Amino acid sequence: PGKAADKVTQSVHHLASKGEKPGKLREILSRDMDALTLVFSRTKHGAEKLMKGLVADGYNAASIHGNKSQGQRDRAIKAFRDGDIKVLVATDVAARGIDIPGVAYVINYDLPDVPDNYVHRIGRTARAGREGEAIAFCAPDEADLLRQIEKLMKIEVPVASGTAPKDPVARPAQQSRGRGRGGQGQGGKPRQANAGAKPGGQRRRSRSRKAA
């Protein structure tokens, strides 16, 4: 647990924004067009959108995720195993159990929210004694996820390009939850402590205490 196969070469590209991910992915895929490459996306919608964009750009790609039927997944995996499909875009749930010895690259297009899933993902390459390469993209709001992965694996993932931010940016979901606890109403305006209280409210409470 928490350890990658010995023959997996890991690296990370630190990107200035998420908008750089599509270009970086195509740059890496174009270096070895015949290699079987497994690309991981965090969401079903993201996986499907990414796959369609790759197909539109001429890449031989398919996707597997929770919105695909079992039959669709099986056909895509078979085509990938047979080499008819060179790029398979997957989510974590759909990729469990994939055992294809010929996967040369695993690309973490989105870093997983759960560090253990990173280890599982990169274990899809370097199987059956072969060598493999695991490449991760890290946008500024994913820097903390990368640190959690490195802590779990007790390594520092070698940097292939870019520079890690000194202070990790909180993920948007965490920020939005934090705002909900900040005592703010809609539009970020502070809530009034007794907004909407009716005049005489204190007098009613006083009478109720006397009655008690």
Residue 179: inside a domain:
no
**Number of domains, the chain:** 1
Asked whether residue 205 is assigned to any structural domain, the reply reads: no
Q: What digits encode the pLDDT tens for the residues 31-85? A: 999 999 999 999 999 999 999 999 999 999 999 999 999 999 999 999 999 999 9
State pTM to two decimals: 0.76
Does residue 208 carry a pLDDT above 60?
no
| CATH code, 38 | 3.40.50.300
Question: Is 151 part of a structural domain of the chain?
Answer: yes
Name the residue range of residue 84's domain: 8-166
Both structure tokens of 5: 């196969």
pLDDT in tens, 73-123: 999 999 999 999 999 999 998 777 778 888 999 999 999 999 999 998 998
The reply to whether 196 falls in a domain is no
Specify if 87 maps to a domain. Answer: yes
Q: Which residue has the higher pLDDT, 169 or 80?
A: 80
Q: Is residue 197 part of a domain?
A: no
Percent share of the chain, pLDDT over 70? 74
What pLDDT was estimated at residue 168? 53
Of 135, 111, 175, nearest to 35 (Cα)?
Answer: 135
Amino acid 46: pLDDT: 96
Q: 195 lies in a domain?
A: no
Which ranges in the chain belong to alpha helices (H)?
21-29, 44-56, 70-81, 92-95, 115-122, 143-153, 172-180, 201-211
